[in-house]
Structure 1
Amino acid sequence: MAASQAKALGKLLALCVTAGVVLAAILFPYVGGMGVAANRVSDTIAAVPADLVAADLPLGSTILDRNGQPIAYLYDQDREIAKPEEIPQHMRDAIVGIEDHRFYEHKGLDTQRSLKAVGGFIANESAGGGSTLTQQYVKNYLAFVVATDEAGRKEAMAHSPARKIREAKLALEIERLMTKDEILVRYLNLVPFGGNVYGIKAAARTYFDTTPDKLTLPQSAFLAGLVNKPSTLLKDPVQGLERRNLVIDRMLATGFLKEGPAAADAAKKAPLGLVEGRNNRPNDCGNLSGGTTTGFFCGYVLDYLAKAGFSKNQLKRGGYVIKTTMDPVATEQAKKAAENQVAKNTPGIANVMAIVEPGSDKHPVRALVANRDFGVDASKGQTAYRLPSTITRFGAGSIYKVFTAAAAMEKGVGVLDTVNVPASYTSPIYKNGGKAYTVTNDSSAGDTQMTLQQALAKSPNTGFVILEERAGLNNVVDMSVRLGLRDSMQTVNSGGEKPDPNAKKADQRISQEQWVKDSKIGSFTLGVTVTSVLELANVAATIVSDGKWCPPSPIEQLTDRDGKPVTVNEPSCDQAVEPGLARSLGQGMSQDTISGTAAGAANRMGWDGRQMVAKTGTTQIHQSAGFIGATPNLAGAVMTFSDGDSPKPICDGARPTLCRTGNIYGGKVPAETWFEAMKPLHKDIRPVPLPPGDPKYMG
């Protein structure tokens, strides 16, 4: 067969198929028993018509700080819903004039338009597309609303008789159920306008930095033309101008520009006027102005909501407004302090802080910061790891002695009771790799005994290992969970294995909690297990909340696209320890900033002397150090640790650096960071004394 004959035959087949599709679409809703093929098409769209009429379009979510200011937008499609009254008549006329000038005459299908398109194809001429605006609405709805991935989108856009039949049938249904104005408004809110911009409201903002109601005639004409081939027109201003002017000419020719030729000529002379650089809405954590600081908090919000059953994809399409507990002032002060103490570009050293507000029914998270900026450019001191809220690879050192003290108090040890603190102590209970477990004190000024309150301030290792024996290791571990380490202690310990040798290797990995208990890790009181800065801050909040633990919540309120509140399934608060024990423990921790390991930092940073609970901590080879502290108003924790690929000890000189031996302590950079951040935050808060201890626990 000659090539010309084959080409003619192909065009004839195309005409037959198209004509058959149109006929099938007209008859399909009214004719039964069309066979297996038709049934398959019907099955794929059985439940769609109602959705096409009433279902919500994908809409991104907005994350706000506690003052209602945006800190992030999340979207799969950058869309804002324009109300009917916000869309000017010339925008409606422009899209109808260029895409479907018989829109107000047909019932969803335009047979003349479809056959003309095929005729143009056979004659090698362009006669425009064969789909009506209603059919285009169906196609875009199936592609950008029903389809949730690229494969589904391609299937919805596929050029096939089955798709044409589906679109035609649904177009007829829509025209029966909706008015023309309703179809047009939904179309303009649905269709893509290039890039990730969907709907007329986002398009007006992105390309002209305006709102739909303020669009001019030439701007409306450009946007109407953009729907046809956005990528080409946005790249080439000359083609963009030509396309805009074509739309204006078509509006005039089809009677949709009632102002007449003079208005058309004036509109065609107007410059294109696109916003330079595009006014796209930033997407995801860290991309809004200031996001390098707020990105850590935003990331925690996503993690927290995921645990509550809200997936990120759901947030990107559900149109939620998430008002968080983030305090921009606390965030700014904490960020400033973290960077002042350890510059953001310091190689291998992170300085991380979390601030939580105490309370009897909620513990709102106020700030999550690091000396690092949130981002992906390490050369600029950025990291995408959620440093303040995830589990760090290092321990918090002697901060964990707080758990030992609390567990010992439940066993009858009073805050003012005397405890033994020998210079060296070998435990008869705990082992170190099968050998005797011996601990020594860095410095105890020759003391061999002191009160528990003094011990919490001066932090002798030996005394707390002895107390751990008395309280029972399991009870100390349980206390750490009760007071706040609820995720940290459930983290899988890669070195711990179950005793069952027949278990699969993947099943042998156990939690930190179980590993410490099973292996009798006596050094737990010295803070050797991985931890979370946020959970440490919440431990301090629990202590000054009369022992009431609440989840460190970043959520103030969640509302849907209609402004209606949505319930977030958060863990309920519980009484971790008796109020009397918590108050007494607070009194026990009240001397660290006065005569203990944090006193120097408090003096250097000009702390006002108000009462607070505090505890410092340092790991054995100085790869990390930490500080927790709380007033009745605010609680916080700081950890300074080696965050490079090859962790090294940290030396605390004029500026912290990585070194061979290390000399950093919790009473240095971590405590100084805490005081620098918290001092201005307490400036206008009247000092409130810590509540007195319960005689039952004071001794």
Structure 2
Amino acid sequence: MSAPEGDGSRVTSVLAHLGSMVAVAAILGVVTAGLAIPFATVVGMTAQDVADSVNDLPDELETKALPQRTRILAKDGSTLATLYDENRVNVPLTQVSKTMRQAIVAIEDYRFYQHGALDLKGTLRAFVTNQASGSTRQGGSSITQQMVKLTLLNQAKTEAERKAAMEDTFARKIRELQYAIGFEKNYSKDWILERYLNIAYFGDGVYGIQAAARHYFSKDARKLNLRESATLAGLVKNPVGYDPTSFPDKALARRNLVLDRMAQLNVVATKTAESTKNQDLNLKITPNRNGCLFSEAPFFCDYVVNYLKADPALGKTREERADLLTSGGLTIKTTIDPRFQKAADKSVQSHVYAPEQAVGALALLEPKTGNVRALSQSRPMGSKKGKGETYINYTVPKEVGGARGFQAGSTFKVFVLAQAINQKIPLTTTIDSPERKTFQEEAYENCGGVPYGNGEFSVPNSTQSGPMNLYTGTRLSVNTFFMALEQMTGLCKPYSLARKMGVNLTNPNGGAEGAAERVPNFPLGVADATPLEMAEAYATFAARGVHCDARPVAVIQDANGTTVKKYSKKCDRVMPAASADAVNDILRGVNEAGGFGYQNNIQPNQPSAGKTGTTNSANSVWFVGYTPTLAGASMIAGANADGSPSSLIGKSVGGTRLFNASGSGTAGPMWGDTFKAIQQWLPDENFVKPDASAIAGVPKMVPSTGGMSPSQATDLLEQAGFQVADGGMRDTGYPRGTVAYTNPSGGSQAPSGSVVTLYISTGQRNVAPKPDPKPSTTSKPEDRSSPRDRDDDDDRGRGRGRGRG
């Protein structure tokens, strides 16, 4: 007999309920295993089928550490940047407010602390309700089951694994059930709830309750109140659909549902729930800032990331190291000083504007440690070329994420200067330095003792000309002087010294190592360099000959605060301390009266030294300077959008069109403004005077020896680093046989190692002859004492009886 018309749906419903009862019967057949299967796909399966499927699975799911964000900290402990694939900060359950724990349990699994791995009552209720309605209206998964699903999804490495973790199949649900039982056997309820709160996604790019609390309400999870807790608890069911930043009305309705449920369960009083429902969401958003782009020092951050990606201690491959940085929950303590960074940024950005066809860059590095204190450039990080933004890091070498650099001009002269001093060439060595001179390539000895070549080339001066010594030739940056000085040192040793001091010299044109850059005009700065390299090199002088590798990171800790790696300073002596002291003494002249730095008023109120650099066509200009405790390299270069060099002449720099450019006048003020701002935080130290006994030609005061015995005077002069010669006897008022005077005279300056002539007194005062008789009786005898005699008087007044001047 056919069913009456209109009763087809009723028959279908009855059959569906019968099918549900069969499924329930199958489920109940395996209750002894602690299971309840909350879906209709088991219809047609026997209890034994279900049990067999469960028994084929492993008992436990490995719980790997959850990905956490990495923090990069400045020297003062402030956060410089965060890196993450998932914005998460794990916290123990004790650091989650009580109301937050109550809210999540109330809305997701109110019997969580009463049932086992599965809530049989809730599962069956949801199962029957969903079957009767023909749709999914209630969820039956316990918090433990949800945690299992999220764990499987989190640990999926391939697209296939991610798909398997999400697919709506019997196999997946059976797998999750077995794993849930394993968790309940081996872990406490609190541990499961803690992991759930840390693994859950809360929308808008935040994972875990701590990151959610910080993002939505700018507070820690332990401080969440009822209103905030209910809001966050409501998000986990549908973090995208209930995202309060995109759908505030839906988020508000969901929050109120959570409050109603908490009141229904007597977790909070009904009156409290109702008053809280009348409140707005009152979000206090802390923006997600993932990566260096959002850092206060983006290019220093970029340098740190690339520096660590190159460290084999952090992983076998660059990919492994990158993954650790974005998911390892590391704390990276860096060497940057935010005060120095702000000062550098202010100076650089005021001297070169972002959209201009020039780039300003400055690096600050601490001598004796290599700690990088600041990296600044005029072009901001970003992709908006119209605003001058770029991802090219002009401050550091290409190997750590930067550009190839720009020719450094005459800042390279110091490597020839230092090598000349290492070779005991006296500082007073005088070389005729004409305005232009032709040099023969065969006069330059290359590595292996062979001449560089057979050609010739002409070099002009751009400053002054004439006889120059190591002091004046350096202070005035005389090209022909240094080309002649390099003939004394050869090509190999200055080049090698520059590499030892941190300049990343390369050979882009092939051939023998360094052949493309190890050329006669090397001291004129033909090689490319970056501000960090040059700051590192000049810091070697400030550290009295000890070179330290640039170090941006001090220590790395894991999520538990355990040290993963400590980055100790890497320092080596590359020249004698006396040689570095002599270089410092010479380079001080650049920032003192008569030097180019002094003329441009760039010197801070502390002892400082430096060197200018300007390239042909003014493609780049440099000033590299330092105090005893900080080195800095300032560069302004003409740069096209792709970073390729071009002349600064005719370009707008700092809002002013340049018709000429120089290291001291263009790049120097950018250096000077930085150091003047930060000198308040630098120790008041002075350079060590060069040791005249170790360095030939150091200007030194000649001791006053008038009235001393010849042996006593000789000892004193030799101890001061002078050679002594006998000048014979002279008539003076000193006792016979004692020193009458010296040449050079006592109290004057003379090069160390030079000859001081000693004159011995006859005991007879030198009397001027009487003048011829004159008609006038008012005339006086002419004073015919020589300047040397007058110096003798000065010597006697200062030194008699004390043995020194």
So what's the TM-score if we normalise by structure 2? 0.73
Q: Match for residue 426 of structure 1?
A: 439
1:623 pairs with 2:623:
no
Task: Report the CA distance between 1:397 and its aligned residue.
Answer: 0.7
Q: Read off the aligned partner of 2:111 and give its amino acid letter.
A: R
Asked if 1:177 corresponds to 2:173, the answer is: no
Q: How does 1:282-361 map to 2 (within 5 A)?
A: 282-288=289-295, 291=296, 294-308=297-311, 309-310=313-314, 311-345=321-355, 347-359=356-368
User: Where does structure 1 lack aligned partners over 5 or more consecutive residues?
Assistant: 500-512
Indicate the residue corresponding to 1:553 in structure 2: 551
Aligned to 1:668: 665
Q: Distance in 1 between matches of 2:28 and 2:628?
A: 74
Q: Would the aligned equivalents of 1:204 and 1:210 in 2 still touch at CA under 8 Å?
A: yes
What CA deviation, in whole Å up to 9, does each residue of 1:137-172 have, x standing for no partner? 11112223x235766544433333343233222211
Give CA-to-partner distance per residue, 1:430-453, whole Å, 9 cap, x none: 79x999341322345441x32122
Alpha-carbon shift at residue 13 of structure 1 (Å): 11
Does 2:452 align with 1:441? no
Aligned-pair Cα RMSD in Å: 3.8
SS at match of 2:635: strand
Within a 5 Å distance, the mapping from 1:151-166 to structure 2 comes to 152-166=161-175
Contact 2:590/2:598 (8 A) holds in 1? no
The letter of the residue matching 1:536 is M
CA contact (8 A) 2:231 2:254 kept: yes
Contact 1:60 1:79 in 2 (8 A): yes
Percent identity of the aligned residues? 31
- The aligned counterpart of 2:505 is 489
Q: Relative to structure 2, which stretch is displaced further, 415-424 or 70-79? A: 415-424
Q: Which amino acid aligns with 1:483?
A: M
Is contact 1:396-1:624 (8 Å) kept? yes
Q: Match for residue 410 of structure 1?
A: 422
Deviation at 1:24, TM superposition (A): 11
Match of 2:458, SS? Answer: strand
Q: 2:104 matched to which residue of 1?
A: 95
Q: What is the aligned partner in structure 1 of residue 531 from structure 2?
A: 533
Contact conserved, 1:24 with 1:165, CA < 8 A, in 2?
no
CA contact (8 A) 1:636 1:674 kept: yes
Residue 459 of structure 1 and its aligned partner are, at CA, apart by 2.0
1:477 lines up with 2:486 in the alignment: no
8 Å Cα contact 1:15/1:118 also seen in 2: no
Q: Distance in 2 between matches of 1:37 and 1:463?
A: 89
Note closer, same or farther for the CA distance 1:584–1:35 as it changes in structure 2 (3 Å cut): farther
Partners of 2:609 and 2:626 within 8 A in 1: yes
Q: What letter corresponds to residue 438 of structure 2 in structure 1?
A: Y
- State how far apart, in whole Å, the 2-side matches of 1:584 and 1:105 are: 81
For residue 402 of structure 1, report the CA deviation from its aligned partner: 1.2
Map 1:599-610 onto structure 2 (within 5 A): 599-605=595-601, 607=603, 610=606
In structure 2, what residue type is equivalent to 1:303?
Answer: N
Q: How does 1:123-138 map to 2 (within 5 A)?
A: 123=132, 124-138=134-148
Q: CA deviation at 1:632?
A: 0.7
Partner of 2:477: 459
Shift of 1:38: 8.3
Give 3-state SS (helix, strand or coil) of 2:455's partner.
strand
Structure 2: distance between partners of 1:259 and 1:614: 71
Question: Aligned match of 1:399 in 393, 406, 411?
Answer: 411
Contact 2:605 2:676 in 1 (8 A): no
For 1:9-408, what aligned pairs fall within 5 Å after superposition? 26=33, 42=58, 48-49=61-62, 52=63, 56-123=65-132, 124-144=134-154, 146-147=155-156, 152-234=161-243, 235-253=246-264, 255=265, 257-275=266-284, 278-288=285-295, 291=296, 294-308=297-311, 309-310=313-314, 311-345=321-355, 347-359=356-368, 362-389=369-396, 390-408=402-420
Q: Relative to structure 1, is the Cα distance of residues 22 and 523 closer, same or farther in structure 2, using a 3 angstrom cutoff? A: farther
After the TM superposition, which of the residue ranges 176-185 and 91-100 deviates more from structure 2?
91-100
Offset, 1:385: 2.1
**Structure 1 residue matching 2:563: 3-state secondary structure:** coil
> What letter matches 2:97 in structure 1?
P
Shift of 1:217: 2.7
* Closer/same/farther in 2, CA of residues 657 and 14 from structure 1, 3 Å limit: farther
CA contact (8 A) 2:354 2:380 kept: yes
3-state SS of the aligned residue for 1:230?
A: coil
Give the Cα–Cα distance (whole angstroms) in 1 for the partners of residues 212 and 580 of structure 2: 56
Letter in 2 for 1:477: Y
- How many Å apart are 1:462 and its aligned residue? 2.9
Greater Cα shift, 460-469 or 541-550: 460-469
Distance change >3 Å, CA 133–CA 683, structure 1 → 2: closer
CA contact (8 A) 2:588 2:608 kept: yes
More moved, 391-400 vs 625-634: 391-400
Sort the Cα spacing of 1:658 and 1:385 in 2 relative to 1 into closer, same or farther, 3 A: farther
Asked if 1:680 corresponds to 2:682, the answer is no
Give the superposition deviation at 1:613: 2.6
1:483-522 residue CA offsets vs partner (Å, 9 max, x unmatched): 121xx224x62xx1348xxxxxxxxxxxxx53436xx533
State the distance in 2 between where 1:238 and 1:528 align: 65
Q: Aligned-pair distance for 1:534?
A: 0.6
Which stretch has the larger CA shift, 147-156 or 91-100? 147-156
CA distance 1:58–1:688, change in 2 (3 Å): same
Measure how far apart 1:592 and its partner are.
2.1
Q: What CA distance in whole angstroms lies between the structure 1 residues aligned with 2:530 and 2:277?
A: 62
Aligned mates of 1:21, 1:572 — CA distance in 2: 69
What stretches of structure 2 of length at least 5 have no aligned partner?
1-7, 36-47, 315-320, 397-401, 447-451, 698-805
1:516 equivalent to 2:513? Answer: no
**Displacement after TM superposition at 1:574 (Å):** 0.9
Q: What's the CA shift for 1:581? A: 1.9
Partner Cα distance (1:623, 1:586) in 2: 28
Q: Matched residues in 1 for 2:22 and 2:300: separation?
A: 59
Question: Retained in 2: the 8 A contact 1:398–1:459?
Answer: yes
CA drift at 1:183: 1.2
Distance 1:641 1:608, change over 3 A: closer
CA separation of 1:690 and 1:675: change in aligned 2, threshold 3 A: farther
Structure 2 counterpart of 1:204, which letter? A
1:583 and 1:480 map into 2 onto residues whose CA distance is 17
Aligned to 2:690: 692
Contact 2:57 2:178 in 1 (8 A): no
1:587 partner letter? D
| 2:714 corresponds to | none
1:575 matched to which residue of 2?
573
Amino acid at match of 1:671: G
Cα distance between partner residues in 2 of 1:641 and 1:525: 19
Q: Distance in 2 between matches of 1:542 and 1:364?
A: 13
SS of aligned partner of 2:637: strand
Instruction: Map Cα deviations across residues 507-556 of structure 1 (whole Å, 9 max, x no partner).
Output: xxxxxx53436xx5333222122212111011111111011111121224
Letter in 1 for 2:305: L
Task: Give the distance between the partners of 1:17 and 1:426, measured in 2 at CA.
Answer: 100
Structure 1 match to 2:756: none
